[in-house]
């Protein structure tokens, strides 16, 4: 029976971040996707028999955002227009989770914007008489032993006294700053205090490599990233760091490099910051240039890179001469890319 499909999943983009897969062929499936990444949803076994689709039954959503989360419904109609099958799936978008040990005074911690940050504030709070954790003059958490007395951001955070960790979900820029932990004894006096600095960064979501050939056969390659605060770049060729002999200009810590004429292979650009690391690869070949180095018969010396397909310089020549009496004279010119040779008489 001929069928058509109605499918309300229409956000498409370009991303090379984290990719997840979910089998959504069962009704009510729970699926997960990474913020800024890609999710591949298996919606059916095969859509080739459905007139409007020619595919393997999967649907890919790139560059996921929070608004992509929610309930989706697949509806398949028969040729008579009646619903022959329908099912739903729930898609949840998850951010990057980072961990930081804040048990040392002055610890520097990082959290991903929109993700989750887990801060280790102490070993165990169950034996502590009273404690508070504050940012500047604002008290965030206070408790006694295993009892949480106050949590300013309880709608998106959770403190676990048994292991001393504090989890903040969906951190924003305003969550960054200096925090102070104060531990009090039974007399109400401070027995210990320490600070940590929390910095919130937007994670790198995707990387794009673009290459172009220059006039002398060099190749300029640019690495652009989407999202990401304070990005740091690194390059490899065939799994190893690029050498100075392969770089015409730039270095492996910049977002744009120029490669020498003979360089080819699998080029990878990695972009990272304190909360993410994303890479993109591209197989590159030379721009088709060759290096010529010769002296022409008129004495002109040529040494340069030229496009091989259009090269007319430094070509070997053979010039026949006329027959005089019983002697045949042939002048042989050796390849002018090396040297000339005096005529040989036969």
Tell me the average pLDDT of the chain.
81
Would the pLDDT of 133 be above 90?
yes
Would the pLDDT of 118 be above 90?
yes
On whether the CB atoms of residues 95 and 35 are closer than 8 A, the answer is yes
CA distance 38 to 23: 14
Would the pLDDT of 270 be above 70?
yes
User: For 175-188, how does the pLDDT look when each residue is reduced to its tens digit (9 = 90+)?
Assistant: 999 999 999 999 99
Token pair 């200096």: residue? 178
User: For 275-296, how does the pLDDT look when each residue is reduced to its tens digit (9 = 90+)?
Assistant: 988 889 999 998 888 888 888 8
**How much is the pTM?**
0.64
- Residue 38, both tokens: 């890609």
Is domain 3-94 annotated with CATH 3.10.150.10?
Answer: no
3-94 matches 97-201 in fold: yes
pLDDT score for 341: 43
pLDDT score for 104: 95
**Top-tier CATH class for 205-284:** mainly beta
Domain segments of the chain: what residues?
A: 3-94, 97-201, 205-284, 289-345
CA distance 194 to 134: 11
CATH topology of domain 97-201: Immunoglobulin-like (2.60.40)
pLDDT score for 54: 38
Percentage of the chain beyond pLDDT 90 is 49
Sign of CA dihedral 102, 99, 97, 224: positive
- Please compute the mean of the pLDDT values over residues 81-96 and round it to a whole number: 88
Burial of 186 (0-12, 13-18, 19+ CB in 10 A): exposed
């Amino acid at each position: 029976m001929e069928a058509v499909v109605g499918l309300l999943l229409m956000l498409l983009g370009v991303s090379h971040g984290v990719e997840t897969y979910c089998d959504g062929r069962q009704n009510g499936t729970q699926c997960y996707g990474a913020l800024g990444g890609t999710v591949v949803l298996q919606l059916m076994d095969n859509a080739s028999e459905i007139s409007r689709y020619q595919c393997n039954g999967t649907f890919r959503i790139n560059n996921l955002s929070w608004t992509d989360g929610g309930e989706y419904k697949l509806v398949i109609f028969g040729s008579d227009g009646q619903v022959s099958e329908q099912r739903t799936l729930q898609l949840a978008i998850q951010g990057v989770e980072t961990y930081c040990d804040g048990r040392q005074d002055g610890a520097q911690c990082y959290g991903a914007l929109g993700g989750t940050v887990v801060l280790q504030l102490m070993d165990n709070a169950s034996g502590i008489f009273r404690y508070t954790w504050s940012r500047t003059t604002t008290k965030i958490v206070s408790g006694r032993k295993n009892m949480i007395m106050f949590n300013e951001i309880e709608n998106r955070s959770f403190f676990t006294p048994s292991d001393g960790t504090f989890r903040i979900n969906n951190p924003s820029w305003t969550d960054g700053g200096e925090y102070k932990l104060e531990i009090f004894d039974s007399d109400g006096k401070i027995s210990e205090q320490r600070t940590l600095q929390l910095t919130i960064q937007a994670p790198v979501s995707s990387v794009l490599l673009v290459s172009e050939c220059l006039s002398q056969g060099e190749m300029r390659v640019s690495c652009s990233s989407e999202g990401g605060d304070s990005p740091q770049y690194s390059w490899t060729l065939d799994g190893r760091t690029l050498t100075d002999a392969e770089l015409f200009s730039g270095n492996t810590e910049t977002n744009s490099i120029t490669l020498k004429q003979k360089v080819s292979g699998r080029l990878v650009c990695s972009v990272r910051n304190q909360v993410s690391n994303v890479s993109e690869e591209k197989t590159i070949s030379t721009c088709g240039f060759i290096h010529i180095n010769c002296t022409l018969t008129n004495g002109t010396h040529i040494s340069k890179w030229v496009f091989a397909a259009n090269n007319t310089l430094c070509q070997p020549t053979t010039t026949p001469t006329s027959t005089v009496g019983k002697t045949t004279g042939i002048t042989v010119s050796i390849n002018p890319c090396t040297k000339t040779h005096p005529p040989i008489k036969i």
